[in-house]
Amino acid sequence: MALTTTPARRPGPAPERGPADAAAAVRAASTGRVGGKVFAGLSTGAGVLILVTLAAVAVFLLVEAWPALTASSEELGEISWFDGGSVAEYVGPLVFGTLLAALLALLLAVPVSVGIALFISHYAPRRLAQSLGYLIDLLAAIPSVVYGLWGALWLLGVVDPFFTWLSSTLGFVPLFADYQAPAKNILSASIVLAVMILPIITAVSREVFLQTPRLHEEASLALGATRWEMVRQAVLPFGRSGVISASMLGLGRALGETMAVLMVISPGFLYSFHLLQPGQQQTIAANIASKFPEASGLSVSALIATGLALFVITFVVNFAARWVIARRAEFSGAN
């Protein structure tokens, strides 16, 4: 049986491009360059606008707070609710209360959020994971006033027996000496804040965990690792920077939350236990919200000065978070 072969075809000459094709190519290249320049301009303008807005907010707060920052103790003493010889003495307890409530909320929310995110991404069946993910996302849509009502009307009654026992058992500690100790209101506000920031941290952490390279997980399982060992060896190291970013987002929400904290730690808002000592059981945002409607003149400047302190705290926290994430990225790249 004879084999026949067909000669290979030689490529013919490329079709000649006419003037119309050349003009179309020039127009396409020109349109691409124009579109790139427009997009670059819009992106640069958006970035500059953010910086200008941030600088404008800082300048506004500084200018409006300047009368209180430069006022004498006698002038500040004329404000009925002002407690302290200077603005720094008044802002100090508020800063402490703000940081304490936010950090306690972060301490409560991060482990629970990471656990929920891991369960949704690597343990739960697909249908249950989708339903649970939707439910967690819906928690972020609940207004802060609803959280405040829940904390004031239900949560305080739940933690009340615990603090009664704490006061009778550890009454020799000044923090727990009084039945209405400052720790009660601060801890209750921290629990409410933890529930509020939980969906933010969970959603971001879940998406980061789902981005873990599949090959890393399969390699860990192929070496005989259990599912938890695989999560610990492959998923958690990959998502560490994402968890830090999610935690900083939650911390920013906790630092700036107003109504929920005001309704929980200010008894006069919904209920009456006793009169709070100004600045000792408040956060900056709740203090501004409670006193601003009746403020005028120098008292407005004093409240804006506390807002300036909150602005500085938020800026420092976000800057520190970006620095930590950048260091993590450099370390991972070096390894």
Are 301 and 293 in contact by the 8 Å Cβ rule? The answer is no
Burial grade of 110 (CB within 10 A; 0-12, 13-18, 19 or more)? buried
Query: Digits of tens for pLDDT over the chain (335 positions)?
Result: 444 554 555 555 545 555 555 555 555 555 667 777 788 888 888 889 988 998 898 899 888 888 888 877 777 777 766 666 677 777 877 788 788 888 888 999 999 999 999 998 888 888 888 888 888 888 888 888 888 888 888 887 787 777 777 777 776 665 565 555 556 677 788 888 888 889 889 988 888 888 888 888 888 888 888 888 888 888 888 888 888 888 888 888 888 777 777 777 654 433 333 333 443 456 777 777 777 777 777 788 888 888 888 888 888 887 877 777 776 655 555 55
Structure tokens at 329: 């990225």
Give per-residue burial for 147-182: e unless 16+ CB within 10 Å, then b: bbbbbbeebbeebeeebeebbeeeeeeeebeeeebb
Structure tokens at 313: 């705290």
Are 201 and 245 in contact by the 8 Å Cβ rule? The answer is no
Burial grade of 248 (CB within 10 A; 0-12, 13-18, 19 or more)? buried
Distance CA 76, CA 306 (A): 14
Q: What is the pLDDT of residue 276?
A: 37
Q: What is the pLDDT of residue 278?
A: 40
Q: What is the pLDDT of residue 1?
A: 44
Residues 6+ apart with CB under 8 A from 172: none
Nearest Cα to Cα of residue 78 among 276, 284, 285, 295: 295
* Long-range pairs, 84-92, Cβ under 8 A, ≥24: 84/279, 87/302, 87/305, 90/279, 90/302, 90/306, 91/284, 91/305, 91/306, 91/309
Distance CA 161, CA 157 (A): 8
Distance CA 90, CA 120 (A): 45
Q: DSSP H helical segments within 257-297, as ranges?
A: 259-265, 267-270, 284-291
Report the amino acid identity of residue 72: S
Q: If you search the block for the tokens 């005028």, which residue do you land on? A: 296
How many other β-carbons are positioned within 10 Å of the β-carbon of residue 9? 6
The topology (CATH level 3) of 47-77+84-332 is MetI-like fold (1.10.3720)
Residues 6+ apart with CB under 8 A from 220: 229, 230, 233, 234
Burial grade of 310 (CB within 10 A; 0-12, 13-18, 19 or more)? buried
Distance CA 221, CA 215 (A): 10
Structure tokens at 192: 């409410």
Nearest Cα to Cα of residue 283 among 61, 104, 162: 104
- Counting every residue, how long is the chain? 335
Q: What is the pLDDT of residue 174?
A: 59
